[in-house]
Amino acid sequence: MDNKDCRFRIADCGIENSPSLHPSLPRGEGGGEGRFGHWNLRFLSIWLFCLLLVTLLSVGCQRSRAGITVAGSTSVEPFAELLAEEYMMRHPELHIYVQGGGSTAGIEAVRTRAAHIGMSSRSLAPREKDLYAVTIAKDAVAIIVHPKNPVQDLTLEQVRTIFSGQIKNWKELGRHLHPIVLVTREEGSGTREAFQKLVMGKEEIALESLVQDSNGAIRQVIANDPSAIGYISLGLVNDQVKAVKISGVEPNLTNVHHGKYTLVRPFLFVFNGEPIGEAKSFLEFVLSPQAQKLLLKEGLTPVLQNLD
């Protein structure tokens, strides 16, 4: 009886909560009273049982494996994952959980001890100096354009005026007539902060620039738009985009290593106090020659000199 009333009410008012799921309401049918009650009870108990099971399972899983959590910058994340895999191959008893979230979030997580190690793609801000930071590698920031864009070489000054919005058309740089589309990272991103510090100085990045929330998304936009310009981690430049020279210096590992290419920022591991236990042994592995060689192969500049 109740059921029927309910249906009519819904149909009457013409709206319901998830309209898309049942645009045409079932009408008129329905089993006997007794069978219905029986069904309800069985359904309810099965449902409650499932809920209990899921809760127990998830609690159980969390406790079953010892491990450390590494969280932070999405620029460092892929490299940290690689290192964690290598490390876990050598130490199968330990599990390393690598999570993204961003430099600032990673640093916060270390402070609140939600993570054992924070990853940061920028130097620590003055108010974060109480934490213990170790540079695990250096990464260059590349200025990228579409491969078809004739621009090969820009000065730092030109990059600054482009990104501050003073130059709005490629024509002003003596190239084809096309409005410049700026692509930048969101506020708080480590890459953006590094770019701000290394390139922009006191100038602001123009407000009309498009904002994308990862290196990959910026690369995607640039790869699709012949008049766009953006910046990403050098290790993530591929043949979909073109990295421009800065005052004639090509962004590559040799030039970064010799200090010729200056748009370089540190990749940090951040700890709350001196690293101890498993976090310490993971850090030692990351700073070991094998791990540093791995980072070099992936396009970063290692902190360890003289890797043969």
Partner 1 sequence: MQVKENVIGKILLLIALSSIFILGLITFFIFEEGFPLILKVGPKAFFFGEKWIPSKGLFGIFPMIVSSFWVTFGALILGIPLGLSCAIFLCEWVPPAAGIILRPTIQLLAAIPSVIYGFWGLIVLVPLVRNYLGGPGLSILSGSMILGFMILPTIISISEDSLRALPPTYKAGALALGATHWQTIWRIMIPAARSGIVASIILGMGRAIGETMAMIMILGNAVKMPSSFLDSARTLTTNIGIEMGYASGDHRQALFATGVILFFIIMVLNSLAIILSKRRGR
State the residues that interact with partner 1 by CB under 8 A. Answer: 11-16, 19-21, 23-25, 37, 40-41, 44, 74, 100-105, 108, 181, 186-190, 204, 207-213, 220-221, 224-225, 228
What minimum distance in Å lies between the beta carbon of 11 and partner 1?
A: 5
The string of DSSP letters for 184-223 reads EEPTT-HHHHHHIIIIITTSPPPTTSEEESSHHHHHHHHH
- Work out how close the CB of 291 gets to partner 1 at its nearest, in angstroms, rounded to a whole number: 26
Q: Which is nearer to partner 1, 153 or 187 (CB)?
A: 187
CA nearest neighbour of 267 among 244, 296, 243, 245: 296
Instruction: Closer to partner 1 by CB, 135 or 220: give it.
Output: 220
Smallest separation, CB 253 to partner 1 (Å): 27
By beta-carbon proximity to partner 1, the closer residue of 188 and 289 is: 188
C-beta of 181 vs 249, nearer to partner 1: 181
Nearest approach, Cβ of 14 to partner 1 (angstroms)? Answer: 3
Round to whole Å and give the CA distance between 128 and 201.
21
Query: Smallest distance from the beta carbon of 18 to partner 1, in angstroms?
Result: 9
- Residue number, 213 or 284, with CB nearest to partner 1: 213
Q: How far is the CA of 84 from the CAs of 38, 113, 303, in angstroms? A: 53, 20, 18
CB 270 within 8 A of CB 119: yes
227 three-state secondary structure: coil
Closest CA to 216 of 236, 245, 194: 236
CA–CA distance from 12 to each of 16, 24, 198, 279 (Å)?
10, 13, 64, 62
- Contact yes or no for 110/131 (Cβ under 8 A): yes
Tokens representing residue 122 in the block: 């920028």
Residue closer to partner 1, measured from CB, 67 or 226: 226
